[in-house]
Structure formats: C-alpha cells, structure tokens
C-alpha cells in the first residue's frame, strides 16, 4: 500500500508514493499523482494547517486520486475548523460542517484524526479519533508525577483530564473559564485543591496560549507548585511561544502533529511511531 504525503505533513513521515504539489505564479495550487494507483488502496497523510491553502491542497489531492479510482485511507493528524462546530449568533457559518462536506464528497474509505478538538465534529464527518494522551503522559518524569493533580482549563478539556487522571491515578481540578472576546481567556474559579501540588494542565491544542497561561497564573496564585502543560497540537499562532516562555508554566509537552518552532520550555513528542501503527492497522483490515 503506497503512502502519499502532502507538504503539510512531510515532517511526520516519508511517503512511498510519488506526487507533485506546487504553485503557479498567481498562487494557484497544482497537484498531480505521479504513480499509477488505479483501483489500488492507498494512504494519504495530510494536515489542514495553515487551514486555507492546506485544506485546498488536500481537496485537490483527493480529486486527483478519485480520477484514478483509488481507495483512499485518509490520515489527518490535525484537522482545522473543528472549533467552529455550531452557530452561536445569527449569520455565522458552521465551518466544521462545511469542511466535512468537502471531504465527504470524495468518499474516502476511512478517515483517521489525532485528537479532534470537538466531539460534535462526528455529527458531520465519520472518522476514527486516535488519542495521543497516553504518549504525552509517558514523557512525564517520575518526580513530576509525585503529588500531582490534573487540571481541565475549560469544559471542553474535562473528558480528556478525567482520562489522564485514570491513567496517572490522581484527582482532577476543574477550572471555570470565560472569554471576554475572541482569543481572550480568563479563569474565574477552580473546583479542587492545588495547594503545594504539581499541576498538569491537559488540553487538545495550544493556539494563542491564552487559556493555559491564564490557568497557570490562577493556579500559582492558588498555591500550586510546578505547572506542566500537555497538549497534542501546537498551533502556536501569533506570539504564543514568546508568551508561554514568559509564563508561570515550567514545561510544555506537545506532539509534532504540526511543524513548529518551539520555545525553551517546550518538549516535542514525535508521532511517527503512532502514525505507523495507524497505517499498520489499516493494512491489516
């Protein structure tokens, strides 16, 4: 089974299939599948971040493969637009549904995502959601696990935090977050004791860093000792790296699902083995 890897995921795995992806002088994307894969099963590995051009590159690759009647098993380590999974005010687009509709029209044999942001995405798209949580937790030191509690920085992280607490056999602290504006976060309260304890903040992604930075500041004021963040996807938009390096957070654990330039507090956990296990599972079907 050949593996085709688009530009957005070439830092994760080397492809065995040949494809060309380039730009015309006006910026239009050009995609060509060089190998003959007519009626074959293939793997297509692609990210959708940055979300505009990489989603379009993926759609064009799917179109090229459909023209060869290839049976595509799609692996998307990080899927964009999952956060826009509902209309909060009149006139908003539900971008998660629109993106899912584009993917569905090419009828891939299977879709696998690593830690999709929203469970509601499954309303629009049929996919296997693979967790990187155990992999991230395996990178904690023994000393860091002592006297540790897990913190969920918002409601969306509660389920993930509970799973981590079961794995590490420790308690969960729930934080109340509100957003006074886009990309702004404030913590209003914490439900649970963190005094003189190491705290592991669990989330699926770090974008601007606002949520975990606000959580760390609140936890420090509440008497927490060392604060570690574990998140699957390092989106790190704007000046997130600079802000995280200047924050109360001691260490940030993230996977390499997205290619990034991490700061001094970051520890990168490689996903190549996990992706090969996903491919092995597909091969065995």
Q: Block means of pLDDT (10 residues each) for the chain, length 285 residues? A: 96 96 94 97 94 92 98 97 89 94 97 92 96 97 95 90 96 83 71 94 94 94 96 95 95 95 92 97 89
Number of neighbours of residue 2 by Cβ within 10 angstroms: 17
CB-based contacts of 149, cutoff 8 Å, min separation 6: 170, 171, 172, 173, 192, 193, 194, 197, 198, 199, 200
Would you state the pLDDT for residue 285? 77
Helix-then-strand count for the chain, H and E: 8, 14
Q: What is the largest CA-CA distance in the chain?
A: 62
* 204 phi, psi to nearest 5 deg: -90, -25
Catalytic residue, from 146, 177, 195, 221: name it.
Answer: 177
Would you state the pLDDT for residue 52? 85
Would you state the pLDDT for residue 184? 61
Locate tokens 């509970």: which residue?
A: 162
Locate tokens 């609140």: which residue?
A: 218
Would you state the pLDDT for residue 181? 59
Please say whether the beta carbons of 215 and 186 come within 8 A.
no
Would you state the pLDDT for residue 183? 57
Cα separation, 170 vs 6, whole angstroms: 40
- The angle at the Cα of 36, spanning 30 to 40, to the nearest 5 degrees, equals 110
Active site residue 250: no
Instruction: Domain 133-270: give its CATH architecture.
Output: 3-Layer(aba) Sandwich (3.40)
Alpha helices by DSSP H, 37-119 = 51-66, 95-104
The helix or strand, by DSSP H or E, that contains position 126, with its residue range, turns out to be none
Asked, as a colleague might, if the bond just before 50 is cis with ω within 30 of 0, I would say yes
Q: Kindly report, as residue ranges, where domains of CATH 3.40.50.2020 are found in the chain.
A: 2-130, 133-270
Would you state the pLDDT for residue 220? 95
Would you state the pLDDT for residue 180? 60
Instruction: Domain 2-130: give its CATH architecture.
Output: 3-Layer(aba) Sandwich (3.40)
């Amino acid at each position: 089974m050949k593996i085709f890897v688009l530009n957005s995921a070439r830092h994760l795995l080397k492809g065995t299939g040949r494809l060309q992806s380039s730009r015309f002088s006006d910026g239009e994307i050009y995609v060509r599948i060089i190998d003959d894969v007519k009626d074959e099963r293939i793997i297509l590995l692609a990210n959708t971040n940055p979300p505009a051009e990489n989603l379009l590159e993926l759609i064009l690759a799917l179109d090229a493969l459909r023209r060869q009647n290839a049976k595509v098993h799609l692996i998307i380590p990080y899927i964009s637009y999952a956060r826009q999974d509902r209309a909060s005010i009149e006139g908003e687009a539900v971008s998660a549904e629109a993106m899912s509709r584009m993917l569905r029209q090419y009828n891939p044999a299977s879709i696998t995502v690593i830690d999709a942001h929203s469970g509601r995405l499954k309303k629009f798209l049929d996919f296997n959601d693979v967790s990187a949580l155990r992999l991230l937790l395996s990178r904690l030191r023994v000393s860091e696990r002592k006297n540790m509690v897990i913190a969920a920085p918002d409601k969306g992280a509660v389920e993930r935090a509970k799973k981590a607490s079961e794995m590490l056999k420790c308690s969960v602290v729930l934080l109340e977050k509100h957003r006074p504006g886009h990309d702004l976060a404030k913590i209003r309260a914490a439900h649970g004791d963190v005094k003189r304890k190491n705290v592991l903040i669990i989330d699926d992604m770090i974008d601007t860093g606002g949520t975990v930075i606000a959580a760390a500041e609140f936890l420090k004021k509440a008497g927490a000792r060392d604060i570690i963040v574990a998140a699957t996807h390092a989106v790190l938009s704007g000046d997130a790296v600079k802000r995280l390096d200047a924050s109360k957070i001691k260490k940030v654990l993230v996977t390499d699902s997205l290619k990034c330039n991490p700061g001094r507090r970051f520890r990168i956990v490689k996903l190549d083995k996990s992706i090969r296990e996903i491919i092995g599972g597909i091969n065995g079907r």
